[in-house]
């Protein structure tokens, strides 16, 4: 399994009038987890797109265990539990700096050809970057 951590500071833009991070704004955190975890593997999302592949999210499952508040410094842990084939699964665990897990989520993404809009296989660039973590 591949794991990666990145931190995120909650902004005023993220909060709502309950003083919580708005439930829709966690999607940005998952995106940051995905992109930054792949970047550490030398696998830049912009380069994946240049190979003609888009990766839209087709499934999202999110559990809000505790609220996140303004100025909290969160840790986003991203995991890729298996090698991608027609799809790629990302799992996320978001914690406060005191270690308390406040959020768990999963997203499934597919690979689409930018030109045809049809599903395609995972790019070699991505598979070869992940291969060392799965043997």
63 touches its own copies (CB under 8 A): yes
Span of 55-63, 84-92, 93-101, 121-129 interacting with its own copies by CB under 8 A: 55-63
From 94, 30, 106, 92, select the one nearest 68 (Cα to Cα): 94
DSSP classification of residue 67: -
86 touches its own copies (CB under 8 A): no
Rounded Cα–Cα distance for residues 74 and 91 (Å)? 16
Range 15-44, binding its own copies (CB under 8 A): 15-20, 22-28, 31-32, 35, 44
- For 76, counting Cβ atoms within 10 Å of its Cβ (0-12 exposed, 13-18 middle, 19+ buried), the class is buried
Distances (CA, A) of 88 to 16, 75, 104, 112, 127: 32, 22, 17, 12, 10
The residue among 118 and 135 lying less far from its own copies, judged by its C-beta, is: 118
* Alpha-carbon 58 to chain mean position: 13
97 touches its own copies (CB under 8 A): no
75 touches its own copies (CB under 8 A): no
116 touches its own copies (CB under 8 A): no
Q: Which residues bind to its own copies, rule: CB under 8 A?
A: 11-13, 15-20, 22-28, 31-32, 35, 44-46, 54, 56-65, 67, 70-71
């Amino acid at each position: 399994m591949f794991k990666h951590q990145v931190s995120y500071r909650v902004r005023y833009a993220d909060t709502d009038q309950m003083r919580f991070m708005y439930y829709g704004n966690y999607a940005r955190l998952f995106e940051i987890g995905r992109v930054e975890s792949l970047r550490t593997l030398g696998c830049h999302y912009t380069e994946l797109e240049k190979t003609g592949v888009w990766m839209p999210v087709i499934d999202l499952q999110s559990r809000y265990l505790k609220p996140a508040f303004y100025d909290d410094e969160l840790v986003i842990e991203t995991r890729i539990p298996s090698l991608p084939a027609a799809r790629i699964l990302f799992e996320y665990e978001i914690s406060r700096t005191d270690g308390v897990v406040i959020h768990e989520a999963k997203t499934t993404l597919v690979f689409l050809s930018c030109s045809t809009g049809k599903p395609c296989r995972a790019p070699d660039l991505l598979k070869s970057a992940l291969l060392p973590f799965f043997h």
